[in-house]
Structure 1
Amino acid sequence: MTLAEAPPNTAGLISDAQRAEYEENGYLCLPDFVGQEWLDELNAVTAEFVEASRSETSSGVEFDLEPSHTAEAPRLRRLNYPVDRHPTYARFTFEGPPAQLAAALLGGPVRYHHSKLNFKWSGGGAEVKWHQDIQFWPHTDFTPLTIGVYLSDVDADMAPMGVVPRSHRGPLYDQYGADGSWAGAINDADVAGLDLDRVVYLSGPAGSVTVHNCCMIHGSLPNTSPRPRPLLLQTYSAIDSYPVAQVGLNSILDSHGGRICGGEASQMLTVHGRRMHGAPDFSDTGPPTIFGSQHQGDGYM
């Protein structure tokens, strides 16, 4: 059995009420969802990467560093592609609680999209402006969700993730700047029209999990506390949901992008409510001709 085929155990993970709450509000916050054994393992591996970052002087493929990062005082914004960096991250993502929770919420096997580890360093770790995820990596539907795991205790002073409940049912905002360049955030004029009095900040002890739908408006303030706020994030979709090629980040996924957790790919997909059985993935074999496909085995030349 391969890593991606490991069956997610969803029995008793969440209640029907929690599943309905996610569908209605677009988010969940589940305290103490990840056990201490996993946390110890993840934190030990994460500490190794923080140590390794000391030798880096600028952001690159592996690390996104704050401008004030130094060897003496590391300040990380992100570890990119963690599932490609260490087998512990991969095992957690494909066999552990996040994959199981995604399968429980989406009702069956799920398709992994990407992962990242955001650090939100202490003493002013970067703000994340209000935004929606789906514009970064459009899919054929809106089932994608992101599951975040707090690797340490997170209280209100540490800039926990904030969400606008039920905003996943509303408009999909333009996230380009006034000059036409990609800004990755909702513009100020649209933000002014949001009811930010409804924002819920998702704090909790180490091991707490956040879940938000791909259309959810969310963000976080700078972390002005003396403690960093590492948040390990994994994104999954329903098995019949596919990323739209050549748009946003969909062309630069990690080596596991598209892996199935809890089943096998069937090439079934749904677009505009119409279900179809797509052709196989020919990326490894090269495209056949329609003649070869239609006449294989009958001696046609």
Structure 2
Amino acid sequence: MLVDDVRRIAPKVLTEEQREFYFHNGYLLLEEVISSEWLGRLRTATDEMIERSRSISTPDSVFDLEPGHTAEVPRLRRVTSPVDQHPDYWRFARESILADIAADLVGPDVKFHHSKLNFKWARGGAEVKWHQDVQFWPHTNYSSLTFGTYLYDCSMDQAPLGVFPGSHQGELYNLYDADGIWTGALSDSDSAALPAGGEVYLPGPAGSVTVHNCRTLHCSAKNESDLGRPLLLNVYSAANSMPYTANPLPSSHAGEIVRGEPARWAVHDPRPCLMPPDWSGGDYTSLFVTQQREARR
């Protein structure tokens, strides 16, 4: 659906002001919209994943580990496709208010694409450099949006998500370097050219949700605080948005309709999109490995 078509349908969860803010700015911060029951279930699932990681010494298809991770002191960067690792993650993606909010923003027919659980471990959790999402997984239109759920309080000290308001209406950046190597981040020169002071950071109490469009520039700093902050990320799109490429984070639930009905017609946005490397061989590891230029460990 085009934005004007979405506007003709009354929102069920968001206010009209919130929806218009998203359309204009490309992001939202919704404070404490996740119930304490869901938070409890997600925290329990996350604790189980951390316990599982203690038996892992090198990164694998599920766990991306920070350097220094040990069984005694686990330091995770990411759990890939948590919806396939614990049933409560998928129940949350399918049954919670997230999918209803997505329907308010992209139209009543909503499709799930992928999920990840990113950690900013205390005293050194890795930064995420400025980038846009859609170049990692191009679709026929730009309805895709990412929800970040704070499982615990996230203050400015814990490196919350940062966004550039309105950047979803601007250009898509080249995420390859001068040698044609995929970096998953803006070049130093492109980052330096961003308007100074134009970014907005989105801290929030536990149960808060960030939403950003797939074209929105975003980042997060290194976490130097004494408190970590896991961020559960779920990506949805309008049902009529079809992926052009292999999913870099494949999931058994990719493409499932979580609200409304499947689309009979694909909708194509005429604006072009950068194509990523071919992920079909399972070569993608994580954004952290790519951006930090790490060799496979």
TM-score range, shorter chain: 0.7 to 0.9
| Counterpart pick for 1:255 among 227, 242, 252 | 252
Q: Which residue of 1 aligns with 2:268?
A: 271
Q: Which residue of 1 aligns with 2:205?
A: 205
Q: Which runs of 4+ in 1 moved over 3 A?
A: none
Give unmatched runs, 5+ long, in structure 2. Answer: 1-9, 271-297
CA positional deviation for 1:100: 1.4
Q: Which residue of 1 aligns with 2:82?
A: 82
Q: Deviations over 1:193-241 (max 9, x none)?
A: 1114111110010000000000000000000111111000001111111
**Is this contact kept in 2: 1:164–1:196, CA < 8 A?**
no
CA positional deviation for 1:263: 2.4
Q: Which structure has the larger Rg over C-alpha atoms?
A: 1
In angstroms, what is the RMSD of aligned CA positions?
A: 1.3
Change (3 A) 1:251 1:77: closer
CA positional deviation for 1:178: 2.2
Q: Which residue of 2 aligns with 1:25?
A: 25
Structure 2 letter corresponding to 1:216: T
Q: Deviations over 1:42-84 (max 9, x none)?
A: 0011001101111110110110000110111100000001111
Q: Which residue of 2 aligns with 1:120?
A: 120
Q: TM-score, normalised by structure 2?
A: 0.85
Matched residue SS, 1:189? helix
Structure 1 letter corresponding to 2:83: V
Structure 1 letter corresponding to 2:257: I
CA positional deviation for 1:252: 5.0
Change (3 A) 1:99 1:201: same
Q: Which residue of 1 aligns with 2:140?
A: 140
Structure 1 letter corresponding to 2:260: G
**Is this contact kept in 2: 1:65–1:75, CA < 8 A?**
yes
Q: TM-score, normalised by structure 1?
A: 0.84
CA positional deviation for 1:169: 0.6
Change (3 A) 1:256 1:63: same
Paired with 2:22 and 2:240, the residues of 1 have a C-alpha distance of 20
**Is this contact kept in 1: 2:80–2:117, CA < 8 A?**
yes
Paired with 1:49 and 1:84, the residues of 2 have a C-alpha distance of 12
Deviation larger for 261-270 or 198-207: 261-270
Paired with 2:116 and 2:249, the residues of 1 have a C-alpha distance of 13
Aligned residues: 261
Give unmatched runs, 5+ long, in structure 1. Answer: 1-9, 274-301
Give the percent of matched residue pairs that are identical in Structure 1 and Structure 2.
52
**Is this contact kept in 1: 2:136–2:248, CA < 8 A?**
no
Paired with 1:268 and 1:11, the residues of 2 have a C-alpha distance of 23
Change (3 A) 1:251 1:149: closer
